[in-house]
Each structure stands twice: as structure tokens, then as C-alpha cells.
Amino acid sequence: MPEASIERPQNPKHGDYASGFPLKLARVTGVKPMTIAHDLVGLMPPINEIDTIVAAPPGFINFKLKNSWLTNQVESILLAGETYGNIELGKGSRVQVEFVSVNPTGPLHVGHGRGAILGSTLANVLEASSYNVVKEYYINDAGNQIDAFYHSLYARYQQCFGIDAQIPADGYVGNYMVDLAKEIIAEEGDRFLKLPRAEAVPTLGELGLKKIIEQIKADLELLGVSFDVWFSERSLYEKKQYETALSLLRQAGYIREKEDATWFVSTALGEDKDNVVVRSDGSPTYFATDIAYHYDKFSERRFDMVINVWGADHQGHVPRMKAVIGALGISPERLKVIISQMVTLRRGGEMVKISKRSGDIITLREVIDEVGSDACRFMFLSRSADSQMDFDLELAKKESAENPVYYVQYAHARIASILRLARERGIDYTDGDVSLITSEPGLVLVRQLLLLPGLVETVARTLEPHHLTYYAQDLATVFHSFYKQCRVISQNKALTRARLKLVDATKIVLAKTLHLMGMNAPEKM
């Protein structure tokens, strides 16, 4: 038996909801779809919320809501206030969202910003869906990249004192390393030159590492991104999770010694090749520490679901992580991975490649400084995570309907202006009769408001927060259309009070949508 489903029709003239179930049923019964549709309509009892149920070619059942039920939902939105749109989906399940997690060896760039906004918006939506969410940043503060950072910083530090020091072949050569060395010199002077190299390198490196992490935190805060946990990779060794995870895999027969290295036998779980976890020199690979980290997430901290937001360069890492999760006795379905694709910066038609400020990489801070946090958040969310995107800096700064950020926020500011005017005129609309909203523009606006809870559920289930930007733009468009066609404050006092209630409800929904995206809902623009 095929599964019945109800969806919103593409053409609103067909009704508020539609089901193609008769078409599915016809394929397995041989009965004509319209015959099935008419028979099913005849079997349906009256429903308080539904005005009409009709069979429509080639085999649909269309449902239209009662206008009186629709307008009464305005009262429900006003009563719910900021909680409108919240749903009971997660029922308190513990979810960890790990995102950004950039190596603390340099400043954040625009690509990191996209992952930051994806992760923080998802966390907002999941919290609104009654999940218990923990936002986490994984600090890669161990391994070869940290050693390279330490030695690179020490070389830059020496160079600032005129010493001919060489940056390691695998070192960090960005101009930011020179600035970091100068900052440390301003605070500490030449004291690291007086220490033996074996002591100076890690001591200076730790100081630099701390400063980079502080800078990352500050940049993310500018973007409205915060974390509940900053998890240190080093702790996986100090607290024995690394040792425990590999021991469990070894006991289960998934660890093998060959070619002077230690391997995870991925092929036993359907992978194309095995993967090194410990190199021949005894140092763990990135994969090995990730195994320990996910063992900690699932087995020690017992998250019901883990969502990782990773950059495009981690695409190939997903299958082996799923495989090792299964090898640890954890359902791979509990691990969700979102791959955030590359970002290209443009100014109109011209691609931006080099930072004006440093002649080096374009940092996230530079983009935030130029266009603002809200524009960054909306633009980064405006495309699905798995698609590459162009970020037009000029468009993000325009104060016109061309700029979707401005367009949406202006709708909220316009609503706030209407409500201020009502207060100035002493209009009390608390007893407004929403049943007076009978014109099509008003009813279309109500229908748009009622989509938010379903949208929240869609985003929470699919982990695709870009749908919020489309909804925000659609809601702004519907409101602007209503505003042009229906005078809110007029000589008709009863209709004025009813429309003010609708406008107030629209403000609640638009603000909730903006806040889910981590954006401001301005009262004036």
C-alpha cells in the first residue's frame, strides 16, 4: 500500500493543501485516479478547519481552509509571542553541533564564516525544535600543524630582532605571523631570545596560540556566533580517550599493523582502502584523533546525535568516519555531516582575491567590517551548504530592494513604524476582531505566517537552514504587498484594530525568522 501524504500545492488557487494519493493508489489497483479521488472525498467527514475538499484532475484531492479558522490563527500567534514557531520534535534529545573548528594557526577567512553561520543557525533551529543542543568548537591544539606554527612564530620573532631565521618548509608564512610576533614583542620584549631554543619555541608558541584563539573568539562574537564548549584535542590524550578508542577497535579486530604503521581496517566495513591511524614514527594521524574525539562524543558524553559542519576539503573524510563509528558499536546514522562548500568574494562582477589591508588572505573580520554581521549571516545562508556561492560585497551593502538583507529587515522596520504610529495615536487594538480580515491580501499574509512551524520542522529534519532565507524574503514580499493594497490605519476603526493585530503577528513571525538566522530585527532603518 503506498503511503498517503499531504503537501502544499504549487498553485495556491488549488487550495491550501493537496494529496496525490489517488494517483499512487491507481498504480497498484488499476482503478482510474479520479474515481479513487471522488470515492475518498465522499468518505471524508466534515472537518472544522476545512472549508472545501474536492477531487481535481488528474487525481488530486485539494483542501481549502476556512477563512474564519485562518484569521483566528492571528490570535494564536499573538498569544504565543516569541515562542511561535517552536515545535516538539526533539523531545529533549541531546544533540552536539560541532562547527568551525579551524586549526588555531591563523585568522578566520570567509569560508570559515560560512560554516560558522550554518552551524549556529542550525543550533538555533534545533533548540526551537525542543532539542537539547550543545555548540562545540574542536581546538586542534596538538600535532604537526601546531609544531609548525610554533617554529614559524619563533622564526618571525627572531626576524623582528634582525636575526636571519628560516621559516620551516611546512610553516606559516602569512603576514599575520609578523603582526603576531610584533604584538608579543610589545608585551614581552626579547625575553624569548634569552631562553634555550627547546624552551623558547613551545613557550612562545603557547602564547601565540592563545592569542590566535582569542582572535578567533572575538571574530566569531562579531558574527553573533558563540560556543558552549571549546574542546581541546590535547585532552583526548590526557584523559585517555585516544588510548581507549584504539584499544576498543583493536579488540574488535579493526586494527592491524603493517608497513611499519598502524591501520584501521576500513575494508572490512566496505571501504575501498584501509586508513593509517598511527604513522611509522609513532605519531597519530588526524583520523586517529578524530576517532578518539567521536568516541568521546558518543560513548562518554552520550550525545544522541552529532552534527559536524565541515569544509569542502573534508568530503572524503566522511565515509571513513561513518565506518569507524560503526566499528565502535555506534549507529552511523547518529552522525550527521554537513559539507560547506567554497565561497567566492566579488565586488559586482569583479572577483576579490587579495586583502587590501594585508596583501594576504581576506579575513572574515574584514568582510564583517565592510558589510556588517547581518549581511554576512543572510548571504552565507542564502545557498544550500553543498553548493558553491558568490558573495557580492557591493550587493550586501545596498540599501534597496535588490539587497535581500535590506529588503527583509526593512519589512520589519516598516511594521515597527506602523505600530509606533498606532501607539502615538492612542489606538488600542487588543480587542480587535480578526474575523474582519476578509480581503485576499490579508488572508494570503495569514497563510504565509502559518508556514513557520512547518518550516522549522523541515530545517530541523533536513539540516538545511537556507530555507529560512527564502521564507524571510517571501514573507517580506507578501507583507509589502498587503501594505500597498490594504491601508492599515484608516477611518474604519474596527478594521484598523483587526489589521493592526495582523501586522503585530507579522512582526512576531518575521522577528522570529530573523532571530533563528541569528540576525537583528531592527525597529528603525
pLDDT digits (tens, 9 = 90+) for 121-146: 999 999 999 999 999 999 999 989 99
Strands 305-311 and 94-98: parallel
* 384, 387, 391, 397: CA torsion to nearest 10: -20
The C-alpha cell that represents 223 in the structure block? 558574527
Whole-number Å distance between alpha carbons of 223 and 377: 7
Helices 467-485 and 404-424: angle between axes, nearest 10 degrees: 40
Superfamily of domain 12-65: Arginyl tRNA synthetase N-terminal domain (3.30.1360.70)
**Residue 421's pLDDT is what?**
97
pLDDT band at 355 (very low <50, low <70, confident <90, very high): low
445 contacts 433 by C-beta, under 8 angstroms: no
Distant-in-sequence, close-in-space partners of 452: CB < 8 Å, separation ≥ 6 = 84, 85, 471, 509, 512, 513
- Give the CA distances from residue 92 to residues 129, 179, 215, 243, 497, in Å, rounded to whole numbers and listed in that order: 9, 46, 34, 31, 39
Q: How many CB atoms lie within 10 A of CB 300?
A: 12
Helix (H, G, I), strand (E, B) or coil at 88: coil
**Residue 354's pLDDT is what?**
59
Helix (H, G, I), strand (E, B) or coil at 289: helix
| The pLDDT of residue 359 is above 90 | no
Whole-number Å distance between alpha carbons of 112 and 94: 25
Whole-number Å distance between alpha carbons of 419 and 412: 11
Whole-number Å distance between alpha carbons of 426 and 500: 13
Query: Would you call the peptide bond into 22 cis, given omega within 30 degrees of 0 as the criterion?
Result: no
**Residue 349's pLDDT is what?**
79
The C-alpha cell that represents 249 in the structure block? 577497535
pLDDT digits (tens, 9 = 90+) for 276-292: 999 999 999 999 999 99
pLDDT band at 10 (very low <50, low <70, confident <90, very high): confident
Question: What's the gap between Cα 203 and its chain centre?
Answer: 37
52 contacts 64 by C-beta, under 8 angstroms: yes
Long-range pairs for 394-403: beta carbons < 8 A, 24 or more residues apart: 394/346, 394/347, 394/348, 395/348, 396/371, 396/372, 397/370, 397/371, 399/525, 403/375
77 contacts 505 by C-beta, under 8 angstroms: yes
496 contacts 428 by C-beta, under 8 angstroms: no
pLDDT digits (tens, 9 = 90+) for 69-80: 999 999 999 999
Starting at the earlier edge strand, list the strands of the sheet with 350-352. Answer: 350-352, 343-347, 389-392
- Give the CA distances from residue 233 to residues 158, 182, 292, 299, in Å, rounded to whole numbers and listed in that order: 29, 28, 9, 17
The DSSP letter of residue 299 is I
β partners of residue 52 = 64
Residue for grid cell 543550533: 123
Is residue 136 classed exposed, middle or buried when 0-12, 13-18 and 19+ CB atoms within 10 A define those classes?
A: buried
pLDDT band at 360 (very low <50, low <70, confident <90, very high): low
Q: How many CB atoms lie within 10 A of CB 496?
A: 20
pTM, two decimals, is: 0.92
Distant-in-sequence, close-in-space partners of 262: CB < 8 Å, separation ≥ 6 = 246, 255, 256, 276, 277, 278
- Give the CA distances from residue 132 to residues 92, 304, 459, 524, in Å, rounded to whole numbers and listed in that order: 5, 10, 16, 34
The DSSP letter of residue 430 is T
DSSP class per residue in 160-204: TTT---PPPTTS---HHHHHHHHHHHHHHTTGGGGS-HHHHHHHH
66 contacts 50 by C-beta, under 8 angstroms: yes
| The pLDDT of residue 4 is above 80 | no
pLDDT digits (tens, 9 = 90+) for 375-434: 999 999 999 999 999 999 999 999 998 999 999 999 999 999 999 999 999 999 999 999
Helices 175-188 and 197-222: angle between axes, nearest 10 degrees: 110
Instruction: Please say whether the structural domain 69-89+401-516 has been given the CATH code 1.10.730.10.
Output: yes
Whole-number Å distance between alpha carbons of 140 and 119: 18
pLDDT digits (tens, 9 = 90+) for 212-243: 999 999 999 999 999 999 999 999 999 999 99
The DSSP letter of residue 57 is T
Return the H-helix or E-strand segment holding 332.
none
Beta strands in 269-349 (DSSP E): 275-278, 305-311, 335-340, 343-347
| The pLDDT of residue 307 is above 90 | yes
**Domain segments of the chain as ranges:** 12-65, 69-89+401-516, 144-222
pLDDT band at 6 (very low <50, low <70, confident <90, very high): confident
The stretches of 62-189 forming alpha helices (DSSP H) are 67-80, 110-128, 144-159, 175-188
